[in-house]
Each structure stands twice: as structure tokens, then as C-alpha cells.
Amino acid sequence: MLQPSQPIYTVAGIRTIETAAMPSAKPPLMERAGRASAEEAVRLMIDRPGALLIACGPGNNGGDGFVMARHFLQAGRKVVVAFSGDTAKLPGDAKKSWEAWRDAGGETLSDLPSAPPEGWALVVDALFGIGLQRPINGRYADWIRALNALPCPRMSIDVPSGLCADTGRVLGVAFKATHTVTFIALKPGLLTLDGPDHCGELVVKRLDLDANSYLPAPGWEVRPALFGDQFAPRRLNSHKGLFGDAVIIGGAPGMCGAPLLSGRAALRAGAGRVFVGLLDPRAPVVDLIQPELMLRPAEDALSEGQAIAIGPGLGRDEAASALLHRAVASKHTLVLDADALNLLATDDTLAGALTRRHAPVVLTPHPAEAARLLKALPDEIQANRLDAALKLAQRFDAHVILKGNGSLIAHPDGRWLINRSGNPGMSAAGMGDVLTGLLAALLAQRWPIEAAILGAVHLHGAAADLLLAKGIGPIGMGASELPDAVRMLMNQWVAQHQHY
Ligand SMILES: NC(=O)C1=CN([C@@H]2O[C@H](COP(=O)(O)OP(=O)(O)OC[C@H]3O[C@@H](n4cnc5c(N)ncnc54)[C@H](OP(=O)(O)O)[C@@H]3O)[C@@H](O)[C@H]2O)[C@@H](O)CC1
Ligand SMILES: Nc1ncnc2c1ncn2[C@@H]1O[C@H](COP(=O)(O)OP(=O)(O)O)[C@@H](O)[C@H]1O
Ligand SMILES: [K+]
């Protein structure tokens, strides 16, 4: 069975669910959260006897920490709690949790104790969760830095403190967890930008709530379950025409490598035929390493295929612009990447034509390209990647893949997803060209547009993860190594499909 995709809620959504569920929740949600955290901690400490340290903050995240501490105390385990605030100012549920901890015989220290000689079995961050409002400084920042320096497993409750749960931005300083237990559902900030670096292994505890019954999920994680039905085994009586023609256009003088990479990826991802249209008049007429590719003058390639991917190495001169206008005027499904996006950013006529098209459009910007399209700075895009992806989808009436750690997919109707596959081995030139080629290949094979987008993005990262697992990366992973790994994964998935 393919693992189902999990829903993702922003903080506002989680608050709505909590407010709706809280009045009738027995046991109360904080009891459930503290207990769920304790259960997870037991798993982490299976081979680690000794004391655990729980650092509690001034809000309900701290309350979860007190509940967790009480469970360990009652189980006879040594647990030390540090809390530097004023217990009288704790919010209601958290105050009750502290009282229950105190009444059970628990002791609360007002500063971080030094570690026992054998070290902590586990350090738990219950400082801030979804209520973080501003950058952390002062004593809490000192605590976080001190906890991050401890040589032991570190667990965060709900959200690593200092990480913005909606955006994945670090506000001041953030706890670097080896494990994070998050409640009710995933949040976008755990999955994109700096989130994955701070969460470590991420576990969702639903607290026995069916989040979707309170509020339909706005976002989902990208999982093979969402496109796995496209991996039907090929029938024996097949021919190349069944698997479509992928068309990739780009390759201005000096930049032919980019579309060739896309083309090679398209071949390995199963396109029946691959056309690569090159702008450079002195471009090679054959790719001697991949002679299956059909190299054409860019103009000629425009008339081929079901979908056109345009942009890798396209350049930004007049010829490139004219070609892009023709592609946009065509009836093909379009993928715009790289310089096609840069041209679009400065051409309002093109933007207008794009929004009037009937066939779907996919934009695949990295943050700097997204910034040009939205007339913003890359830092502003990264400060709220989800918001930027949604704005782009709306502005251009297009499907958007905002690339980078935790690639975001935004559909024109406002639905969004976050991809979790991939690794820093992909931070190398040409990786985006490979993604464009994968998309072109899946569209050529007539995957529905959304399945093609999710499939390409997920496979792209999963192929890099496969290489990483084999020791081919993160250092030195090459974009041209990805297509073979994509091929292996796709064939594995087809084979699995045959068992169902
Ligand atoms: N509600 C529920 O049903 C459930 C909630 N649950 C748990 O509660 C968590 C949310 O709790 P929460 O809303 O109390 O927020 P939380 O993250 O503890 O922080 C708020 C406190 O921090 C303070 N503060 C903020 N930023 C700061 C900064 N930079 N530097 C210093 N202080 C700062 C802020 O103070 P203020 O801004 O008001 O000055 C306030 O005192 C959630 O993540 C989950 O773990 C679970 O039990 C499940 C049921
Ligand atoms: N650290 C990372 N984690 C996950 N994916 C990454 C990481 N770094 C890069 N990638 C992926 O690699 C690709 C890089 O694309 P891009 O920046 O367009 O490269 P290029 O322009 O060199 O082809 C994107 O799909 C991006 O999501
Ligand atoms: K926390």
C-alpha cells in the first residue's frame, strides 16, 4: 500500500480546529499532547537510561511539557524541568498542567541545570509552539543555544522553538531537534525552507482528532499515493506512439547543455520520443552521448508533441522572446522554466496572453525567478514561500512549482501541496533542467496535468534521495546522474503496481 498523503494546516487552521474540538475533548487536548510526546520520547530513549531534561516556555507549549514530565515522573523515571517564567502568568490549561506536575512531586528549576556526568538521555524543547510571535532573544535565546550544544537526542514538542510554523523561517534562533512530535496535523513551516533542518525526524500525533471533519485541509504533502495510479504496467502490444513526444525548447548560443539535460531526463522518464529544439544556429545536430534525442532548430520543434517545455538555456534576446510568444500562442500544454520565466517577468503582453490561454500552464521558478515574476526580492519570497507560490498561481492563472527545499506546488484554484523528497545534493547546476524534462515526459505520456506535476516533483527528489543513499552525494551529485535513478524508481513503482 502506498502511504496516504497527510494534510497540512496553517496556524490559523490549527487554531480553528483546537477551538472547535476543545470544549468536548476528554481527556483535554493538552493531556493528549503531553502523553503523545511522552510515548514518543520512550521510543527515542529505548537504549538510553538516565534523566531527561524538559525546558518549558510561558504558553501552552510549556503546558505540554509539564504533562509530559508528570508521565515520566509517575513512571519512575528521573526528569528535570526548567521553567524561567512566572507560573501565575501561565495560561489556564498550562497552569493546571504545572499544578498537576507540582502535586505529583515534580520540581521546577528556574534555570537550565548542568548535564549529569553520563549526559541527558533526552532533552525536550517545550518552549514555544505555534504561538511564537516575534524573534527570540534574551534568556530564551541563551537556553536554545545551550540546549543545541548538548550531545544527546533533542526532541521538540509541536514545533522547534524559534521556527515559524507557517513559513519555516527562523525567528532569531531556533532549537535544532533530532525529533519533532507535532500535533493534529503537519504545518507548512515544518516542511519547507529551514523547517526540515530544524525538525529532524517528524512525527504527527493527531490527538484522536479528525482534523478534516472540523476544517477541510488547505494543503497536502506530495506522496506517490496521489499519482501512483499512473504507473500502470505497459501493455505488451505497445509502440512508441503510445508514450508521446516530449518537446523541450531552449539552448541559445553557449547554453545547449541545459535543454540536452532536460531531454535526457525526458527519455529516461519514458517519453516515446524526445525532441530538443535549439536556438543556437551552431548547435550540434546530434547528441553523441544520447543519440536517441532528436535535435531540431527551435522553430521546428514548436510544432511537435502534446506539451512544450520551454526555457532551459533559452537566453533573453529577441529570438528567444519571439519563440516564447509563439509557444504561448500555441494550443499545447506549456511548461515555462528558467529564461522563459525571466522573459515573462518583463513582458506584460506575454503575461496577458498566458492568462487567456485554454491549455494549462506550469511555471517552475526557483526563488530568484519567483522574485522577478512578483517584482520582489528573493528574501521576500523565501520569507513566505507558500504565500509567494499562491500569488504566482493567481497572477498568471498557472500551476506553480516554487522550487527549493520543500518545493511548493500551488494550483490556480488556490489548492497547494508541499514536496518532501530531495536533498542538498540537488543544489547543483542543471537540477532544474532535469525537473523540466521529467515534466515534459510525463505530460507526453498523457498523465493528467496535476498528476504530472506531482509525479515529476516527487520523482526528481526521490531520485536524488536514491543517489544519496548509495553515497552518490550530497557532495558532487550531478544533474546528469539523476535520470538513471528516475528510471529505476519508475520501473520499481510499475513493478509494485503489478502486485495490487
Ligand atoms: N490550544 C490548544 O488547545 C492546544 C495547544 N497545544 C500546545 O500549545 C501550543 C500553543 O500554545 P500557545 O498558543 O500558548 O503558544 P506558545 O507556542 O506556547 O507560545 C505562546 C507564549 O509565548 C510567548 N511568546 C511568543 N513569542 C515569544 C518570543 N519570541 N519571546 C518570548 N515569548 C514569546 C507568548 O507571550 P506573549 O506574546 O503573549 O507576550 C506566550 O506566552 C501548541 O504549539 C501546542 O504545543 C496542545 O496542548 C494541544 C492543545
Ligand atoms: N537542498 C535541497 N533540497 C531539496 N531540493 C533541492 C535542494 N536544492 C535544490 N533542490 C532542487 O533542485 C532543483 C534546482 O533547480 P534550479 O535552481 O532551477 O537549478 P538549475 O537552474 O541549475 O537547473 C529544484 O527542483 C530544487 O527544488
Ligand atoms: K517547541
According to the model, what pLDDT value does residue 143 have? 98
Cβ of 474 below 6 Å from ligand 1 = no
Instruction: Give the start-end residues of each E strand in 28-112.
Output: 52-56, 79-83, 108-109
pLDDT band at 226 (very low <50, low <70, confident <90, very high): very high
Note whether 387 and 289 are same-domain residues. Answer: yes
Distances in Å between the alpha carbon of 391 and those of 95, 317, 346, 388?
41, 27, 17, 5
63 annotated ligand-binding residue: yes
Cβ of 61 below 6 Å from ligand 1 = yes
Give distance in angstroms: CA of 314 to centre of ligand 2: 18
Note whether 168 and 229 are same-domain residues. Answer: no
Rg (CA), the chain: 26
Least confident span in 302-306, 415-419, 421-425: 302-306
Task: Output 131-139 pairs: Cβ under 8 A, ≥24 positions apart.
Answer: 131/59, 131/60, 131/61, 132/159, 132/161, 132/162, 132/163, 132/164, 132/165, 132/171, 134/171, 135/171, 135/172, 136/161, 136/162, 136/171, 136/172, 136/173, 136/174, 137/172, 139/84
> How many Cβ atoms are within 10 Å of 64's Cβ, its own excluded?
33
195 annotated ligand-binding residue: no
Total number of domains in the chain: 2
Residues 6+ apart with CB under 8 A from 48: 121, 122, 152, 153
Cβ of 356 below 6 Å from ligand 1 = no
pLDDT above 60 for 499: no
Give distance in angstroms: CA of 457 to centre of ligand 2: 10
CATH at residue 51: 3.40.50.10260
Q: Ligand 2 pocket test: which of 336, 417, 427 has the largest number of ligand atoms within 8 Å of its C-beta?
A: 427
Identify the domain boundary among 187, 219, 251.
219
445 annotated ligand-binding residue: no
**Which of 167, 192, 177 lies closest to 126, judged by CA?**
177
pLDDT above 60 for 331: yes
Within-domain flag for 371: yes
Note whether 416 and 369 are same-domain residues. Answer: yes
Identify the domain boundary among 219, 249, 284.
219
366 annotated ligand-binding residue: yes
According to the model, what pLDDT value does residue 4 have? 92
Note whether 446 and 415 are same-domain residues. Answer: yes
Note whether 362 and 446 are same-domain residues. Answer: yes
Record the pTM. Answer: 0.96
**Which of 393, 392, 422 lies closest to 407, judged by CA?**
422
Note whether 392 and 489 are same-domain residues. Answer: yes
Note whether 90 and 119 are same-domain residues. Answer: yes
In ligand 1, the atom with minimum distance to the C-alpha of 18 is: 3
Residue nearest to atom 30 of ligand 1 (CA): 136
Cβ of 346 below 6 Å from ligand 2 = no
Question: What is the distance between the alpha carbons of residues 181 and 37, in angstroms, rounded to a whole number?
Answer: 6
Cβ of 91 below 6 Å from ligand 1 = yes
Note whether 340 and 287 are same-domain residues. Answer: yes
Note whether 51 and 159 are same-domain residues. Answer: yes
pLDDT above 60 for 500: no
In ligand 2, the atom with minimum distance to the C-alpha of 430 is: 23
Cβ of 430 below 6 Å from ligand 2 = yes
Note whether 142 and 83 are same-domain residues. Answer: yes
What mean pLDDT do residues 173-202 have?
A: 98
3-state secondary structure of 308: strand
pLDDT above 60 for 278: yes
Give distance in angstroms: CA of 174 to centre of ligand 3: 10
- Per the CB < 8 A criterion, the answer to whether 450 and 488 are in contact is no
CATH at residue 245: 3.40.1190.20
User: 345-403: per-residue pLDDT in tens?
Assistant: 999 999 999 999 999 999 999 999 999 999 999 999 999 999 999 999 999 999 999 99
Identify the domain boundary among 219, 253, 277.
219
Q: Ligand 2 pocket test: which of 193, 373, 431, 459 has the largest number of ligand atoms within 8 Å of its C-beta?
A: 431
Phi, psi of 66 (to 5 degrees): -65, -40
356-384 core/surface letters (b: 16 or more CB in 10 A; e: else): ebeebbbbbbbbebbbbbbeeeeeebbbb
pLDDT above 90 for 133: no
Question: What is the distance between the alpha carbons of residues 458 and 456, in angstroms, rounded to a whole number?
Answer: 6
User: 287-303: per-residue pLDDT in tens?
Assistant: 999 999 999 999 999 98
Give distance in angstroms: CA of 450 to centre of ligand 3: 35
The boundaries of the domain holding residue 62 are: 7-219
Note whether 190 and 311 are same-domain residues. Answer: no
Neighbours of ion ligand 3 (CB under 5 A): 61, 125, 156-157, 161
What mean pLDDT do residues 3-8 have?
A: 95
Model ipTM?
A: 0.96
Please name the helix (run of DSSP H) or strand (run of DSSP E) that holds residue 276, with its range, or none.
strand 273-278
